[in-house]
Amino acid sequence: MMSKRLLVGAGLACAVSLAGMAAVSAQQGSALINPAGLRDVRIIRSQLIEARRQGSLARQRAEKLEREARAATERVARTEREAAALAARIQETEAAVGAREAEAKLIGEARDRLRATLAERQRPLVRLTAALQRLSRRPPALALLRPGSVEDTMHLRALLETMLPEVETRTAALREEIEKGRALERRALAAVETMRRSEAELADRRKQLAALESQQRLASRSASGTAAREAERALALAEKAGDLGGLVEQVGRQGKLRERLARLPGPIMRPARPEVSQVVDVESFAPVAQGIAGYVLPVGGRVITGFGETRENQRRTRGLELETRPNAQVVAPAAGRVAFAGPYRGYGRIVIIAHDGGWTTLVTGLARINVDVGDELLSGSPLGIAGPVSPVIGVELRKDGEPVNPLRYVRPN
């Protein structure tokens, strides 16, 4: 009986040793799925919630634009909405990838805590099973030859009968923790596989959007020859402007004048009695706008600088700065006309959009621009792509030249 119990102790030692190997394996696997970075679980969970929220909003916009595209009768209008819908789908997929990354971080955090728990529970068991292993290697016949060996054997037997149930209980808890580790491993592998599928879907949608934008670009070149002249005027305006704020202000004034002129009545015949002619007041045709419809943030991401915040050694900000994913899709925050598109000193590539009602949007920090001066955009039309390394996209909204907080006008749809 004694030999049998000692063999059981040796078997328990082997089980704990295997548990230690499983913990090491879990640690090695965690290195692949839990990169260095944020360790605060609350921050990671907030990132997950925000990514899911942004993905939901992008999906709503995409579905709305897809319905409008199906209902459009003109080819140009249909293509514009299809491109905007594709851009929204790209942002939806980018948000899904971000959510998967946050889930992977949470799994990594859970595995770190589990490894710590396993280490705590293994320590006393390893010491106990080491002692049992030493006893198991002692021949029973030799123990019987020692004086008092029968009494010692009885004491040992009583000790083992007391300890073995506790060992079994603790090893059962240890096996449960190991099974939790295996479950986390399965979740991590599933998250990686889902992320790979999302990335493949993202690449496919970007190809579709690039093809659609090529079609639009060819159509616009054949439709009008005035775009190049307008782009030249915009570049000249940028060179004359003292800074970016001055450029946006001048663009806003020009857009407001253009809007007023467009709203003037058409030419009329000379009246039979010139004395009854009336002078038309241009200001009377200015639109009265209380807000800007359908405004969305140009890119999904985290606000790192809010409106009106003061950064070190800099003046108060006039917009928002959004930290986003590498090569993220950037879209038009609202319907409008492209007044400037190109590089500007210190701000990367920028786009200025003139909206109806005296509203102007400035988007900065783009690595690539897919629009030209004079293009008419929908809310959500693709503007370009963010940079490949730690991209930050800036957005400013102005009403009659005065900066306002864009977050006040963001709508869910």
**How far is it, in rounded angstroms, from Cα 394 to Cα 250?**
19
Q: How far apart are CA 322 and CA 224, in angstroms?
A: 35
58-108 per-position pLDDT tens digit = 999 999 999 999 998 888 888 899 999 999 999 999 999 999 888 888 888
Q: Is the dihedral of CA 30, 36, 40, 42 positive or negative?
A: negative
Instruction: Supply the Cα-derived Rg of the chain in whole angstroms.
Output: 34
- Per the CB < 8 A criterion, the answer to whether 292 and 395 are in contact is no
- Give the pTM: 0.69
**Tokens found for residue 400:** 């009659």
Angle, CA 119 vertex, CA 115 and CA 122 arms, to 5° = 130
Is residue 395 within 8 A of residue 327, CB to CB? The reply is: no
Task: Please say if the pLDDT value at position 286 is more than 70.
Answer: no
- Please write the tens of the pLDDT for every residue from 261-281: 555 565 555 555 555 445 544
Query: What is the token pair recorded at 113?
Result: 């805590």
- Which has more pLDDT, 185 or 157? 185
Q: Which two tokens stand for residue 305?
A: 């600088």
Domains and CATH numbers, the chain: 2-221 (1.20.1260), 230-263+291-408 (2.70.70.10)
Residue whose entry in the numeric block shows the structure tokens 């940079």? 387
Supply the pLDDT for residue 143: 53
- Going by pLDDT thresholds of 50, 70 and 90, the confidence category of residue 26 is very low
φ and ψ at residue 327, rounded to 5 degrees: 60, 30
Cα end-to-end distance, the chain, whole Å = 76
Q: How remote is the C-alpha of 62 from its chain's centroid?
A: 17
pLDDT confidence bin for 184, thresholds 50/70/90? confident
Place 32 in a pLDDT band, splitting at 50, 70 and 90. Answer: very low
pLDDT exceeds 80 at position 402: yes
Kindly report which listed range (117-121, 203-207, 333-337) carries the lowest average pLDDT score. Answer: 117-121
Residue 75 contacts residue 212 (beta carbons within 8 Å): no
For position 126, what pLDDT does the model report? 66
Written as six digits, the tokens of 345 are: 């000193």
CA distance 412 to 322: 18
Nearest to 354 by CA among 365, 372, 368, 340: 340
Compute φ and ψ for 242, nearest 5 degrees: -70, -40
Cβ proximity of 81 and 68 under 8 Å: yes
3-class state of residue 308 by DSSP:
coil
Structure tokens at 263: 């709203």
Contact (CB, 8 A) for 109 and 39: yes
Strand partners, 394: 321, 364
For the ranges 6-20, 251-265, 272-286, 338-352, the one whose mean pLDDT is highest? 338-352
User: How far is Cα 384 from Cα 392, in angstroms, rounded to an integer?
Assistant: 13
DSSP annotation of 343: E
pLDDT-wise least confident of 27-31, 76-80, 384-388: 27-31
Report the largest interatomic distance among the alpha carbons of the chain, rounded to a whole angstrom: 141
d(CA 116, CA 114): 5
User: 3-state DSSP helix/strand/coil percent for the chain, to nearest 5?
Assistant: 60, 15, 25
Report residue 144 CA to chain centroid gap.
72
Least confident window among 28-32, 41-45, 89-93, 228-232: 28-32
Q: Is the pLDDT of residue 36 over 60?
A: no
**Residue 350's pLDDT band (boundaries 50, 70, 90)?**
very high
* Alpha carbon distance 211, 216 (integer Å): 9
Give percent above pLDDT 70 in the chain.
60
